[in-house]
Amino acid sequence: MRIKKFEDIKAWQEARKLTSKIYEITRPIQFKKDFGLRDQIRRASVSVMANIAEGFGRNSNKEFIQFLNYASSSNLELQSHLYVALDQNYISTEKFDEIYDKSKDAGNLINGFIAYLKKYSKQHNSKTAKLRNF
């Protein structure tokens, strides 16, 4: 598959779906009142998407990998926030499981992409060549 734009990246597509779910669960009034948690969980989910996109725009695989690592970290932050939402009864166990699983799927795609880019960079011994044909 040829990736021409960040929207072609499967990890970004999954992160977008995850962000949509986060916004959905944070709309009810009970969750809305907890401004801090609502904003943190939203920012973490948006950060996953944004870091994938920003990394794609960088000039090297090394920088891309760095931003994918940021995306992975933001995804873990989001997972932690989901526990707070569950513990505060802002979301049901079923909704928690559904979104946590989506987050794990996105994380697996991100981490798999990181591994692929590292392997590709080693095989081609290039720190500056930007991979566009995955």
Is residue 30's pLDDT more than 60?
yes
Is residue 1's pLDDT more than 80?
no
Q: How far apart are CA 16 and CA 73, in angstroms?
A: 16
Q: What domains, with CATH codes, occur in the chain?
A: 6-123 (1.20.1440.60)
Predicted model pTM: 0.89
pLDDT at 134: 44
Q: What is the pLDDT of residues 36-91, one digit of tens each?
A: 999 999 999 999 999 999 999 998 999 999 999 999 999 999 999 999 999 999 99
Report how far apart, in Å, the C-alpha atoms of 90 and of each of 43, 74, 94, 96, 103 are.
17, 21, 12, 10, 18
CA 22 to mean position of chain CA atoms: 12
130: pLDDT confidence band, cut at 50, 70 and 90? Answer: low
CA pseudo-torsion sign 17, 18, 23, 25: positive
% of the chain beyond a pLDDT of 70: 92
Residue with tokens 């909704």: 95
pLDDT at 57: 94
18-43 residues labelled b (16+ CB within 10 A) or e (exposed): bbeebeebbeeeebeebeebbebbbe
